[in-house]
Structure 1
Amino acid sequence: MKILLINSNRYYAYPTIPVGLCIIADAVENDGHDVCILDLFFSSNCKQALQDKINLYKPDIVGIGIRNIDNAAGYKTEFFLESIKNDIIIPCKKFFSGPVVIGGAAVGISGAEMLSFFGLEYAIQGEGENSFVEFIRKYKHHEVLDSIKGLIIHKNGRIVVNNPPEYIVNSKPDFLGHHVFRFIDFNKYYKRYNARLQIQTKRGCALHCVYCTYNRIEGKRFRLYEPQSIADHIEFLVHQTSIRAFEFTDNVFNIPLTHCKEVLKAIIQKKMDIDLTTMGLHPAAIDQELIDLMKQSGFKETDLGVEAACDISLKNLGKNFTKAHVLNAGELLYKNNIHINWCLLLGAPNETESTIRETIETITHAANKWDLISTGIGIRIYQGAPISDKNTSRQSLLLPVNYVPENISLEQIYDIVEEYASNHFNILIYNDYEKKHNPLSRAVSNLVYAYSQEKIFSPDLPSWQWFILYKRFMKAIDHYL
């Protein structure tokens, strides 16, 4: 059968190579089907691109990968599904009369609600490598679909099948040894957006952060990949593409700590000239040996997922570390010249002005002036996250629902962060739409962004340091205007 897979992600703030869709494509092709990926990330006209591809390719089944419901902001949330519906789902239904199956991380959170929202019949929640292939087989032979793991079926305005997701146990990374890069142009992402290739060293999460949906998407226990296989995987990709920049996208990279260290040791043995980072280090699982291994393997920067620097807030966020762990982690990274993106999430249950100020003052004191302090305001409540129990309105969590602490409003939190940001150039307020720029500032911002992506002046400079430089420059301009 001919299978068309569509990447619906068009969130330009964080260009993400659709590795998951390539894994699905590889599984489908290995089962003997013809498969093609339509990557709409770079498309200026989704409707036309869909019509052209469907008319030319004539698929039997269409699969659509949906990465995000929204931008995950807890304040002034940007909802993505409306544009996906209008620009992709509706045109797809217009030009194609066969079965359309949605999947991806977003479906793992609210798949049933998304089918109703889109007016579609099929979704696969969880890991779809096996389930989607089984769907194709059964559909081809007109067999009953009801037993497929992770399958959701929406008919006549109601959900008639909603099977638990499959969590695949596999000791090797998902596409090791397979030429999945042939499905899309990885280098296009790299050259235009300096995007990194995403690597997982495991799936699942055994932690219990109140806002998080990883447990729902990937399961509640860690499923570890073999360290040597991960290193082989990276070496393979280095040889097959021009990309040398990789990001570990585990929910938390350094837990279990022993496994993390073994992964880094295996990478070091390959003696590759690569640039590594990770979207999250756990502050309580950082020691000097880990730092040494990170530097030897290719780390120059990292995200540090602290969320807060107040023991009250950390406890209320469901964290299993303390303010002391946060400070120790920052000190170790700073002493070893690893640039830090401090990730904060303000607006925990029982948050107050006092806890907000303690967090900000602690981090601004601990952070280097060229470290970024990425500050999220408010918690977006998702289906299945522990904090969803606090959704007293009981309204659907598909549309944005944000948690508001009892003792302080999100607007007040924003004002406090703005107060500190006016004197600390390294504070970035996530999803800040209230900031207004004049034409000069927009021109300078665009120039700085372009230089940061091309890394014209300093190949080793994290892109976020250009943001700090830009803020300093604009402060000086404003002073003289």
Structure 2
Amino acid sequence: MRTLLIYSNQSREMEPAAPVGLSYVASAAQAAGHTVKLLDLAFSLNLTGDLAAAIIAFKPDVVGLSIRNIDNVVSQRFVSPQDALREQVAVIRQHARKADGTPVPLVLGGPAISILAERALSLFGADFANVGEGEVAFPALLDALEHGTPLADVPGLCYWQDGVARRNPTVLLPGFDRSGMQNFVPWHNYQKSGGTWPVQSKRGCGMKCSYCAYPLVEGSKLRLRPPGEVVDEIEQVLRDAGPRTFEFVDSTFNTPASHAIEICEEIIRRKVKASFTVMGVNPRDVPPELFPIMKRAGFNSMLISPEAGCDEMLKNFRKGFTMEHVNTCVDRARVSGMKSFWFFMLGGPGETMETAEESIRFAETRLTGRQFLSVFFNGIRILPRTELAEQAIAEGYISADTDLSSGVFYHSPLVSEQALIDRVSLAFSRNPCIVHAADGAITDRQRQLYSWLDKFGVAAPYWRFLPDVLSFPPLHYLRNKFPSGMAVGSP
């Protein structure tokens, strides 16, 4: 079947995210014998126009639309792509038609769909939605559409049956290989915009964080790739696309730490010439040798997500580690010399001004210097089918029929949201390398700077230079004199 797969994510909360998940699906569909085109609209200046033109030119039998984000999960600066996505669906429905004039099947996929599940069908007006990994499910759906086999046999498929949205059980793959993204995605636009090449060394997450929907996307069972296969992929991508920086986009790179260390050892043994960064480091498993060997392998930075700086909130979030682990992680990160970006959330269940003060003071006093960057989110997005959603219903914070596909946030009733905003603003004066998540996404000026950094061959990610910028005395003075001024209810 002629299969058009669409990636339209233009979010710029940090660096642009390349469509690694959709590339896995495209590779699998192509291997199953289908004619596949991956339409990457991440940098399109006329998204709906380019989408319409591509549909008319390609004449697909099936259209797949990948949806990465439900929204930006920032309460005070809430941005949702849902209206834009519905506009894209309207364009697809208008132009992607069979010979008899009826619309071709529209299939939704991506992380957001694994969270929304069958609700996505009515939300976007689609025929099908894939929950979980698509490498098996999507080719199976194409086979069912082509040959009329039962839809009930397609794992993780959401579909309409007698006017009711149904969902089949998901089946996790026992293992997975390389994405093949270089065969479908032009890399130049991503690199000049500060993008990093995504690599998965594992799937699944066995953590029980109360707010997190990651297990809904990849399951709770860890499936590790052999380190040699991971580095094989990196070497192949270097030959084919030549990115400067690879990013390990596992939920946590160091779970287990032994696997991460083996990957680093393989990179060193083969003398791979590239830079690396990592999306997630879990403070629970940071043996003394982890950060030094990451540095030797070429890692220049890492994202670390304790979410809180006090034991009470770590327990409330079900993080599975304590402040003893977090403090050890800080000490070892500092010694490593790598830049690190630390994520915190305020306003969760049980949050008081006292617990919030502990977390903010931790960032003020421990994550100091230009090696560290700390961001505070105020309010926690309540995602469907998470423990936080169940807890919010049990508390009466939301009703059981609340539509969580829209922007619903948890703000602890024990503390003022505005007081938390003001307290984080005060933290700027004590540690310039602290920011509000609500301060804003990447600006046009930053994009221009990223383009210049790319021209000079500087390895991404470029957020690692933000602590140097924030520490520049005139900027530090202006931030203290003119804080963001955010108020509850402001756009």
TM-score by length of 1: 0.91
Q: 1:449/1:477 Cα in 2 relative to 1: closer, same or farther (>3 Å)?
A: farther
Which whole-Å CA distance do the structure 2 matches of 1:110 and 1:462 have between them?
30
* Correspondences of 1:49-64 after superposition (within 5 Å): 49-64=50-65
* 1:17-32 to 2 correspondences below 5 Å: 17-32=18-33
SS of equivalent residue, structure 2 residue 289: helix
Quickly say closer, same or farther: Cα 1:462–1:127, change in 2 above 3 A: closer
Matched residues in 2 for 1:207 and 1:99: separation?
A: 36
Equivalent pair of 2:428/2:480 in contact (CA under 8 Å): no
CA contact (8 A) 2:18 2:198 kept: yes
C-alpha distance in structure 1 between counterparts of 2:283 and 2:480, whole Å: 39
Alignment of 1:206-285 (within 5 A): 206-285=206-285
Larger deviation, residues 456-465 vs 130-139 = 456-465
Q: Which residue of 1 aligns with 2:452?
A: 454
Counterpart contact for 2:245–2:460, Cα < 8 Å: no
Task: Tell me what 1:70 maps to.
Answer: 71
Distance 1:418 1:155, change over 3 A: farther
1:351 corresponds to which letter in structure 2? E
> Match of 1:149?
155
Please tell me the residue identity of whatever aligns with 1:459. Answer: V
Q: How many residue pairs were aligned?
A: 465
1:382 corresponding residue in structure 2:
383
Flag the 1:105–1:460 CA change in 2: closer, same or farther, 3 A.
closer
Secondary structure of 1:41's counterpart equals coil
Checking the alignment, whether the CA contact within 8 Å between 1:346 and 1:356 is kept in structure 2 is: yes
* Post-superposition CA distance 1:293-342 (Å, at most 9, x none): 10111112111111111010111111111112111111111112111111
For 1:327, what is the secondary structure of its paired residue? helix
Work out whether residues 429 and 476 of structure 2, in 8 Å CA contact, stay in contact via their aligned partners in 1.
no
Q: Aligned to 2:118, what secondary structure does the other structure show?
A: helix
| Contact persistence 1:125–1:152 (CA under 8 A) | yes
Equivalent-residue separation in structure 1 for 2:460 and 2:90 (angstroms) = 43
Structure 1: stretches of 5+ with no match in the other structure: 436-441
Amino acid across the alignment from 1:421? F
Within 5 Å, give how 1:348-359 maps onto structure 2.
Answer: 348-359=348-359
- Return the alpha-carbon distance in structure 2 between the equivalents of residues 382 and 466 of structure 1: 32
Confirm or deny: 8 A CA contact 2:64 2:108 kept in the other structure.
yes
Q: 2:487 aligns to what? A: none
Q: Deviation per CA, 1:227-267: give whole Å up to 9, x if none.
A: 11111111111111120201111111111122221121112
**Which string of whole-angstrom CA distances, capped at 9 and with x for unpartnered residues, describes residues 49-82 of structure 1?**
1221111111100011111111122444322212
Is 1:174 the counterpart of 2:170? The answer is no
Deviations 1:383-442 (A, max 9, x none): 121111113322011111111212013332222111212443211111335x9xxxxxx9
What is the deviation of 1:156?
A: 6.4
Q: Matched residues in 2 for 1:216 and 1:398: separation? A: 15
Counterpart for residue 439 of structure 1: none
Partner in structure 1 of residue 485 of structure 2? none
The alpha-carbon deviation at position 446 of structure 1 amounts to 4.9
Distance 1:100 1:464, change over 3 A: same
**Secondary structure of the structure 2 residue equivalent to 1:332:** helix
Who is 2:466 aligned against?
Answer: 467
Query: Contact 1:124 / 1:150 at 8 angstroms: preserved in 2?
Result: yes
CA displacement at 1:457 relative to structure 2: 7.8
Residues 346 and 375 in structure 1, CA contact (< 8 A), matched pair in contact too? yes
Greater RCO, CA 8 A, separation 6+: 2
- Secondary structure at the residue paired with 1:71? coil
Contact kept? 2:245, 2:459, Cα under 8 Å: no
Instruction: Tell me which residue corresponds to 2:364.
Output: 364
Letter in 1 for 2:73: A
State the match for 1:419 in structure 2.
Answer: 426
| 1:465 Cα deviation after fit | 4.8
Shift of 1:447: 4.4
**Partners of 1:205 and 1:220 within 8 A in 2:** yes
With over 3 angstroms needed to count, the CA separation of the structure-2 counterparts of 1:461 and 1:143, relative to structure 1, is closer
SS in 2 for 1:63: strand
CA distance in 1: counterparts of 2:429 and 2:340, whole angstroms: 20
CA contact (8 A) 2:368 2:431 kept: no
Distance 2:375 2:478 in 1: 24
CA RMSD, 1 decimal: 2.3
1:80-95 to structure 2, matched below 5 A, reads 80-86=81-87, 88-95=88-95
Write the distance in 2 (CA, Å) between the matches of 1:136 and 1:477. Answer: 57
Aligned equivalent of 2:130, options 115, 124, 128: 124
Matches of 1:479 and 1:150, distance apart in 2: 51
Distance 1:407 1:476, change over 3 A: closer
Question: What secondary structure is seen at the aligned counterpart in 1 of 2:117?
Answer: helix
**What is the alpha-carbon distance in structure 2 between the residues aligned to residue 123 and residue 232 of structure 1?**
32
Aligned counterpart, 1:102: 108
Q: 1:227/1:332 Cα in 2 relative to 1: closer, same or farther (>3 Å)? A: same
> Is the contact between residue 452 and residue 466 of structure 1 (CA under 8 Å) also seen in structure 2?
no
Residues of 1 paired with 2:362 and 2:481: CA distance?
32
State the 1:479 CA deviation: 9.2
Q: Structure 2: how far apart are the matches of 1:363 and 1:284?
A: 18
1:101 touches 1:123 (CA, 8 Å); kept in 2? yes
Contact 2:51–2:91, Cα closer than 8 Å, also in 1: yes
1: distance between equivalents of 2:271 and 2:309? 37
CA contact (8 A) 1:120 1:154 kept: no
Q: Distance in 2 between matches of 1:101 and 1:480?
A: 51
Quote the offset at 1:358 in angstroms.
0.9
SS at match of 1:42: coil
Q: TM-score normalized by structure 2?
A: 0.89
